[in-house]
Structure 1
C-alpha cells in the first residue's frame, strides 16, 4: 500500500502552496525544476515547510482540504508544530 503525504511548500516570495502526493521527494523536485508550475503559479524553487504522512490517499485528500481552509496565519502555526 502506498503512503500519501500532505505538504506545504513556500516560495521565495513567501507564497504558500498546499498539496498531496504519494511521492513527496519527486513532487518537491518537480516544483524546484519549474515543473511544479502546473500545480502552482510559482516557477521559482520552493522549500518544504510542513508534511504529514497518511496510509491512504483519501485521508491525505481530506487533510489537504482542511489545511487549504486555514488562514495563512494558521498555516504558519503548523510550521511550529511539525517539521
Structure 2
C-alpha cells in the first residue's frame, strides 16, 4: 500500500484504536511499533493494522482522519466493516 494516501486504523495492545494517514501503511506501522511513530503509540504500542482506505490526495485523507478520530470506538469499527463490505 504505497500508492497515494491512506487512512489506517491500528489496534493497540491495550485495546484502544489509533487512526493516522500515510503513503505506506506497512512502513508507518513499523515506525509505530518501534516507538518512532506518533506520541500516542509510544505509550500505547500497536498490535496490528486493522484496515486502511485509499484517498486521492493528502488533504482528503486528513479530512477523513479528522472525522474518524471524532467518532466513538464502535463507529470506527463500523468504518472498517463498511470498507470490507465495499471490497466484496
- Fold shared, TM-score > 0.5 on shorter chain: yes
Distance 1:77 1:67 in 2: 11
Distance in structure 1 (CA, Å) of the matches to 2:56 and 2:78 = 24
2:55 is matched with which residue?
Answer: 54
Normalised TM-score (structure 1): 0.82
Partner residue in 1 for 2:66: 65
Q: Name the SS for the 2:62 alignment partner.
A: helix
Determine which structure has the larger helix proportion and give its number.
2
Equivalent residues in 2 for 1:3-82, closer than 5 Å? 3-38=4-39, 40-82=41-83
Secondary structure at the aligned position of 1:40 is classed as helix
- The answer to whether the 8 Å contact 2:9/2:49 transfers is yes
Q: How many Å separate the matches in 1 of 2:25 and 2:64? A: 15
Higher RCO (C-alpha under 8 Å, 6+ residues apart): 1
8 Å CA contact 1:28, 1:46 repeated in 2: no
- Unaligned runs of 5+ residues in structure 2 are none
Runs of 4+ in 1 over 6 A off after TM superposition: none
